[in-house]
C-alpha cells in the first residue's frame, strides 16, 4: 500500500471535485472556464501516478502526459505497438475505459551445469481500468482488473529456495490463467481514500523505486519483494485498505486481507475471518532537492493458524528439505522496512516514461518469529539507475544482493531428523535493460546463487528477457 498511499496524496473529494492543486480547486475547468456541479473529475487526468502505482509500471494508454506523437507515429517511437487501433482505443480511453496489454518472455539457464539446462518461460498481462470521472459516472473512482497467464518452464536444480524468476509465480506456477485482480479505488474527503476487492497487496505494500518490477528490473524474487510477506499475504487476495494522507509526503494505510485465498480462484469459498491478515503501513516519499525517495514501514499480524515453519507455496522449501513440518502454531507477525532513494539525478534529460534519469540506492529488511516461519529474517541492498550507457536515457540497470535467513529453530528441528540446511541463501543479480523503443525492451540478467542446501554447488544463472507492450 506504500506507493498507492503516496500517489493518492492531496486527492480530496469536495462537492464532487478532486482537488490536487489544479484549476478545479478554484472552481475552474482545465480550459479556464467555470466548472459546473455536473463536471466529474478523473483520477487518471489529475493524478495519473495513482494508476502507475497500482500497475507498478510508469505508463498507461490514455495518460494525459503521453506525447501524441508516440501514439500512432513511427513504430520506433510508439509507446504501444498497436497504437490507437484506428482511433478506437483513444475514444475508449477518453470515455473512461483504458486497456493495456503486454507480453514478457524469459530464457534462463545455468552457466556451470548445476541445473537441468536452459528454460523458456512466458507470460501475458491484460489490464483494464474504468475511470468513473472520465465515464461521467462520479468523481474520483477507479475500477481495476488484471487478467494474466503464463506458460513454459523455469530453471530448476540450482538449490535456490526463492524463485529465480519472479514473473513465473504470477498468477501461479506455469501454466495458469487467472483474473488475478479486480478491485475498486475511491478518493474521499479529508485526505482519505479506500480500496477493496481482490488485490496484489504485497506488490503495493513493498514498493521500491529500483527493485519492484519483474518485467523491467530484477528477476530474482528477493530483489522484487520481501519474501517474509509470503506467509501473510498470498498473491493475490480478497481484502480492503483505508489510506490517510497525513502530510504531502507522509501517508498511513490500514489493511485487512484474507490469508487463505489465491490468484486462480475467486477466493470467496476459502474466505474466513479466522484466516485474516491485519497490517498498518507508513509511507514517506520525501524529496531532498531534486532527489526523490520512497520509504515504507509495515507491521502485520495474521489470525491464521499456520503450519509451524509456514512458507508461501510459491517458495521451494519442500524441495530443499524433502519434507514440510506439519505442527501448527497460533498467530504470526512480522515487521518489514523498505527504502529507496535517488542520490543523483540529471534534470536536463527526460525519459519517455517520465521517470527521473539518475542513480539511487535501495534496501529491504524483514523479521518474523523463528518458531513459526521458515524465513525469519531477510535483507537486501543494491544500486539502480534510470538512464544508461552512451546517453541512452530510456535504459535502466541494477546490481543487488539478497540474504534470506532460515529459522534457527527450524534448522535445529531438521537436524534432529538428519536434514541439514545452512543459515542463509545468498543471491547476487546484475541486469541491464535496453529500451529499443518505448514499447520493446530486452535485458540481460546474471545471477549468482549460494544455496542454503549444503549439497548444492553455487550456481551462475544467465537470463535474457523480452518485454513488449501492445
Residue 4's pLDDT is 47
Residue 409's pLDDT is 83
Residue 174's pLDDT is 74
Residue 208's pLDDT is 93
Phi-psi region of 50 (alpha: psi -120 to 50; beta: other; left: phi over 0): alpha
Evaluate whether 77 touches 435 at the Cβ level (below 8 Å). no
Residue 3's pLDDT is 45
Q: Which helix (H) or strand (E) holds 445?
A: strand 440-450
Instruction: Please tell me the distance from the alpha carbon of residue 437 to that of residue 327, in angstroms, as a whole number.
Output: 53
The four Cα atoms 83, 87, 90, 91 give a dihedral, to 10 degrees, of -160
Residue 329's pLDDT is 61
Residue 262's pLDDT is 81
Residue 456's pLDDT is 85
Evaluate whether 449 touches 160 at the Cβ level (below 8 Å). yes
Instruction: Please tell me the distance from the alpha carbon of residue 378 to that of residue 39, in angstroms, as a whole number.
Output: 49
Evaluate whether 123 touches 214 at the Cβ level (below 8 Å). no
Instruction: Please tell me the distance from the alpha carbon of residue 53 to that of residue 57, in angstroms, as a whole number.
Output: 7
Largest CA distance in the chain: 77
Evaluate whether 274 touches 300 at the Cβ level (below 8 Å). no
Of 32, 37, 13, 44, which is closest to residue 139 (Cα–Cα)? 13
Quote the strand ranges of 250-390, DSSP E: 250-258, 276-284, 287-288, 291-302, 332-345, 358-367, 375-386
> What are all long-range contacts of 348-355, with beta carbons under 8 Å and residues at least 24 apart?
349/387, 349/393, 350/393, 351/386, 351/387, 351/393, 351/394, 352/67, 352/70, 352/79, 352/393, 352/394, 352/435, 352/438, 353/58, 353/59, 353/394, 353/438, 354/58, 354/59, 354/65, 355/58, 355/386
Kindly give the parts of the chain with pLDDT less than 50: 1-37, 308, 316, 318-319, 323-327
Residue 30's pLDDT is 41
Give residues with Cβ within 8 angstroms of 31, minimum separation 6. Answer: none
| Placement of cell 548445476 in the chain | 114
Residue 161's pLDDT is 86
Instruction: Note the pTM of the prediction, 2 decimals.
Output: 0.86
DSSP string, 380-426: EEEEEEES-GGG-TT-EEEEEEEEEEEPHHHHHHHHHTT----SEEE
Q: So what CATH class is 102-128+143-469? A: mainly beta
Phi, psi (degrees; rounded to nearest 5) at 146: -140, 110
Amino acid at each position: 500500500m506504500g506507493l498507492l498511499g503516496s500517489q493518492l496524496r492531496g486527492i480530496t473529494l469536495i462537492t464532487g471535485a478532486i482537488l490536487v492543486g489544479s484549476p478545479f480547486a478554484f472552481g475552474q475547468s482545465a480550459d479556464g472556464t467555470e466548472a459546473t456541479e455536473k463536471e466529474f473529475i478523473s483520477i487518471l487526468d489529475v493524478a495519473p501516478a495513482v494508476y502507475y502505482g497500482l500497475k507498478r509500471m510508469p505508463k498507461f494508454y490514455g495518460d494525459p502526459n503521453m506525447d501524441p506523437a508516440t501514439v500512432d507515429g513511427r513504430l520506433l517511437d510508439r509507446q504501444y505497438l498497436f497504437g490507437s487501433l484506428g482511433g478506437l482505443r483513444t475514444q475508449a480511453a477518453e470515455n473512461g475505459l483504458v486497456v493495456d496489454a503486454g507480453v514478457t518472455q524469459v530464457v534462463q539457464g545455468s552457466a556451470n551445469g548445476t541445473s537441468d539446462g536452459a528454460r523458456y518461460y512466458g507470460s501475458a498481462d491484460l489490464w483494464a481500468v474504468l475511470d468513473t470521472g472520465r465515464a461521467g459516472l462520479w468523481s474520483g473512482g477507479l475500477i481495476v482488473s488484471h487478467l494474466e497467464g503464463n506458460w513454459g518452464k523455469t530453471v530448476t536444480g540450482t538449490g535456490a529456495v526463492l524463485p529465480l524468476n519472479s514473473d513465473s509465480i504470477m498468477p501461479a506456477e506455469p501454466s495458469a490463467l487467472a483474473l488475478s485482480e479486480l478491485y475498486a479505488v475511491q478518493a474521499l474527503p479529508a485526505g482519505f481514500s479506500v480500496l477493496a476487492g481482490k488485490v496484489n497487496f504485497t506488490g503495493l505494500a513493498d514498493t521500491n523505486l529500483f527493485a519492484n518490477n519483474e518485467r523491467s528490473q530484477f528477476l530474482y524474487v528477493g530483489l522484487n519483494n520481501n519474501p517474509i510477506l509470503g506467509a501473510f499475504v498470498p498473491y493475490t487476495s480478497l481484502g480492503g485498505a483505508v489510506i490517510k494522507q497525513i502530510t504531502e509526503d507522509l501517508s498511513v494505510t490500514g489493511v485487512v486481507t484474507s490469508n487463505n485465498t489465491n490468484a486462480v480462484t475467486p477466493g470467496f469459498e476459502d474466505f474466513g475471518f479466522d484466516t485474516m491478515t491485519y497490517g498498518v503501513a507508513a509511507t514517506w516519499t520525501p524529496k531532498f532537492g531534486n532527489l526523490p525517495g520512497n520509504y515504507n514501514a509495515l507491521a502485520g499480524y495474521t489470525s491464521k493458524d499456520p503450519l509451524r515453519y509456514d512458507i508461501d507455496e510459491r517458495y521451494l522449501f519442500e524441495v530443499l528439505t524433502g519434507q514440510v513440518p506439519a505442527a501448527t502454531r497460533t498467530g504470526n507477525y512480522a515487521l518489514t522496512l523498505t527504502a529507496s532513494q535517488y542520490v543523483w539525478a540529471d534534470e536536463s534529460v527526460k525519459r519517455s516514461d517520465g521517470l527521473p534519469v539518475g542513480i539511487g540506492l535501495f534496501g529491504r529488511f524483514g523479521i518474523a518469529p523463528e518458531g513459526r516461519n521458515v524465513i525469519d529474517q531477510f535483507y537486501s541492498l543494491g544500486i539502480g539507475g534510470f538512464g544508461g550507457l552512451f546517453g541512452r536515457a530510456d535504459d535502466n540497470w541494477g546490481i543487488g544482493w539478497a540474504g534470506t535467513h532460515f529459522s534457527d529453530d527450524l534448522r535445529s528441528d531438521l537436524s534432529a531428523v538428519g536434514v541439514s540446511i545452512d543459515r542463509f541463501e545468498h543471491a547476487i543479480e546484475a541486469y541491464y535493460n535496453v529500451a529499443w523503443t518505448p514499447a520493446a525492451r530486452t535485458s540481460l540478467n546474471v545471477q549468482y546463487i549460494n544455496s542454503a542446501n549444503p549439497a548444492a554447488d553455487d550456481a551462475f544463472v544467465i537470463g535474457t528477457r523480452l518485454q513488449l507492450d501492445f
